[in-house]
């Protein structure tokens, strides 16, 4: 691979959810994205329940086809605010649940940190995409959320599934549907 | 004997939880700005710009720096001439955590048992480390610790023959293995010596030291410099997206140990290196 291919394109593409196969195919590792539309939060506990429902052939609490899951658990909103701080959590903990969700139509995931080999392969197989948001920038990211509503598993508190409406949510493509991994590529570059 | 009322401890701890989660310490903020000047990777620079802006937004809008407002880690130094009245010390601290996390709109991230995983819904209990010191004051440091970085922390019992090279190798391995997960640029605390638990507590204390202040022991200070260089040569970079700045600081704390042992504990602290110290 030529060195020039490793340098990400700094001009972000604007995308809206739900994502189509064609939109996903056009994304490459390192590409900046500004995402708008609905995304659903889910962390460890919510993933365990979602996958349990799939295994029992029960309907999921939202139509997952073409949708994007954000691995996040926000802080409570102060009065007058839409949401509290809302940055990404470590994605790797969700790896054990992810292939089953991709198989039923999940198209995108937002988090931080590397995915397992199994998930990277499933992303290719199901034409999906894994984005990173900047970890620890939850205050800044909260300004791109215009609506927030708990739609399932309210008893889980911050781990409940929240339906967020986001505008120009800043992301970077980590794993694209051709098997490229921006974490691996980025670390091989040298900055002296 | 000086009497300190438990309710004062509760109130001050509650305030400290809120402040710690919304105000990035000045030394960390300045270190992020210096990192922004040093970083060469375009994406690394973008990340550092976001983190600097994030700290400003958190402060001006009174919203937590990070959604993970942590497990509440509390270090207490109790003067031996102090008596806590009107309630127990630990109860007073936990009541403060309960109050601070509710009134500050902070996230409640604690489960009552590691296996049944039911949320306690008030972020208690805190993890509290106490020390008896001379004097008639209580000094409390509240340090909310995020799960993402804590999960990537590690300890190993090295053999004496592995020495300094073994310590450097283990720290670098821990940072590389963690990659993007602990939200670099990191503040790295290294606890050296003692026993397994002593090294771990030292590594936590090391994280709390002001960035830019070296250990007063020249052996440890030298190790800090070498470790920072080795960690920043990994190329992990801001947010693990590649670059020169993987850590803002590496702080080492050491303690004597057994002739057979060389315990090493590494606490990885994310760039939201939050802590507030109060004296009563």
Residue A47 appears among annotated catalytic residues:
yes
Choosing from A47, A49, A112, A162, the catalytic residue is A47
Where exactly does CATH 3.30.360 map onto chain B? Answer: 2-20+65-145
- On the question of pLDDT at A192 being above 90, the answer is no
**Alpha carbons B163 and B266: distance in angstroms, whole number:** 16
Handedness of CA A181, A182, A184, A188 (dihedral sign): positive
Nearest-by-CA chain A residue for B65: A139
CB within 8 Å: B63 and A142: yes
**Alpha carbons B271 and B194: distance in angstroms, whole number:** 27
Class of domain A16-188: alpha beta
Greatest Cα pair distance in chain B: 59
Pick the CATH number of B2-20+65-145 from 2.40.160, 3.40.190, 3.30.360, 3.30.1460: 3.30.360
Would you state the structure tokens that stand for residue B160, as one six-digit string?
A: 């004496």
Determine if residue B240 is left, alpha or beta; phi over 0 gives left, psi from -120 to 50 gives alpha, anything else beta: left
Name the residue with tokens 């958190």. B58
Burial class of residue A124 (count of CB atoms within 10 Å of its CB; 0-12, 13-18, 19+): middle
- Give the count of beta carbons closer than 10 Å to the beta carbon of residue A188: 12
- On the question of pLDDT at A10 being above 80, the answer is no
Q: What is the pLDDT along chain B (280 residues), one digit of tens a residue?
A: 999 999 999 999 999 999 999 999 999 999 999 999 999 999 999 999 999 999 999 999 999 999 999 999 999 999 999 999 999 999 999 999 999 999 999 999 999 999 999 999 999 999 999 999 999 999 999 999 999 999 999 999 999 999 999 999 999 999 999 999 999 999 999 999 999 999 999 999 999 999 999 999 999 999 999 999 999 999 999 999 999 999 999 999 999 999 999 999 999 999 999 999 999 9
> Of A17, A83, A171, which Cα lies nearest the Cα of B50?
A171
Per-domain boundaries in chain A = 16-188
pLDDT tens digits for A77-131?
Answer: 999 999 999 999 999 999 999 999 999 999 999 999 999 999 999 999 999 999 9
CB within 8 Å: B105 and A77: yes
Question: How high is the pLDDT of residue A187?
Answer: 82
Nearest by CB: B148 against A74, A90, A132: A90
Go through chain A and tell me how many residues it has: 192
Concatenating the DSSP letter of every residue in B130-184 gives: EEEESSS-EEEEEEEE-HHHHTT-EEEEE-GGGHHHHHHHHHHHHHHHHTTTT-S
Residues forming beta bridges with residue B237, ordered by sequence position = none
> Of A64, A8, A54, A55, which Cα lies nearest the Cα of A31?
A8
Asked if the C-beta of B40 comes within 8 angstroms of chain A's C-beta atoms, the answer is: yes
Q: Compute CA distances B177 → B180, B227, B231, B248, whole Å.
A: 9, 16, 12, 18
**Alpha carbons B14 and B72: distance in angstroms, whole number:** 11
Q: How close does chain A come to B77, measured CA to CA in Å?
A: 30
CB within 8 Å: B51 and A72: no
Asked if the C-beta of B199 comes within 8 angstroms of chain A's C-beta atoms, the answer is: no
Give phi and psi for A184, each to the nearest 5: -65, -45
């Amino acid at each position: 691979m030529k060195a020039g291919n490793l340098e990400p394109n700094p001009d972000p593409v604007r995308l809206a959810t739900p994502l189509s196969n064609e939109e996903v195919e056009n994304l490459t590792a390192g590409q900046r994205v500004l995402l708008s539309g609905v995304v659903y939060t889910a962390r460890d506990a919510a993933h365990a329940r979602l996958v349990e429902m799939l295994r029992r052939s029960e309907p999921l609490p939202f139509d997952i086809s073409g949708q994007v899951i954000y691995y996040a658990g926000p802080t409570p909103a102060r009065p007058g605010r839409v949401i509290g701080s809302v940055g990404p959590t470590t994605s790797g903990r969700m790896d054990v649940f992810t292939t089953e969700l991709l198989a039923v139509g999940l198209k995108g995931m937002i988090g931080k940190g590397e995915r397992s080999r199994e998930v990277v392969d499933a992303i290719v197989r199901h034409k999906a995409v894994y984005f990173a948001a900047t970890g620890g920038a939850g205050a800044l990211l909260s300004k791109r959320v215009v609506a927030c509503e708990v739609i399932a598993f309210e008893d889980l508190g911050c781990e409940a599934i929240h339906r967020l409406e986001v505008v120009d949510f800043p992301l970077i493509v980590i794993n694209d549907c051709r098997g490229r991994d921006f974490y691996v590529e980025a670390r091989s570059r040298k900055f002296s | 004997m000086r009497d300190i009322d438990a309710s004062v401890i509760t109130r001050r701890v509650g305030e400290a939880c809120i402040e710690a989660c919304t105000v990035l310490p000045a030394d960390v903020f300045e270190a992020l700005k210096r990192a922004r000047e040093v970083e060469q990777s375009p994406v690394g620079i973008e990340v550092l710009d976001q983190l600097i802006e994030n700290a400003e937004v958190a402060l001006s809008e009174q919203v937590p720096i990070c959604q993970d407002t942590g497990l509440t880690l509390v270090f207490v130094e109790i003067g031996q001439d102090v008596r806590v009245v009107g309630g127990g010390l630990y109860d007073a601290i936990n009541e403060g955590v309960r109050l601070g996390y509710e009134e500050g709109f902070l996230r409640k991230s604690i489960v009552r048992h590691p296996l049944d995983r039911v949320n306690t819904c008030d972020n208690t209990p805190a993890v509290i480390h106490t020390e008896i010191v001379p004097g008639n004051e209580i000094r409390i440091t509240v340090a909310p610790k995020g799960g993402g970085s804590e999960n990537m922390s590690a300890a190993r019992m090295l053999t004496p023959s592995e020495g300094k090279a073994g310590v450097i190798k283990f720290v670098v391995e821990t940072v590389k293995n963690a990659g993007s997960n602990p939200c670099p640029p990191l503040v790295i605390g290294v606890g050296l010596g003692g026993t397994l638990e002593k090294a771990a507590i030292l590594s936590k204390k090391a994280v709390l030291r002001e960035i830019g202040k070296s250990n007063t022991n020249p052996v440890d200070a030298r190790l800090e410099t070498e470790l920072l260089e080795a960690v920043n040569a990994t190329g992990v970079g801001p947010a693990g997206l590649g670059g020169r700045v993987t850590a803002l600081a590496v702080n080492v704390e050491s303690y004597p140990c057994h002739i057979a042992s060389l315990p090493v504990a590494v606490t990885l602290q994310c760039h939201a290196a939050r802590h507030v110290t109060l004296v009563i």
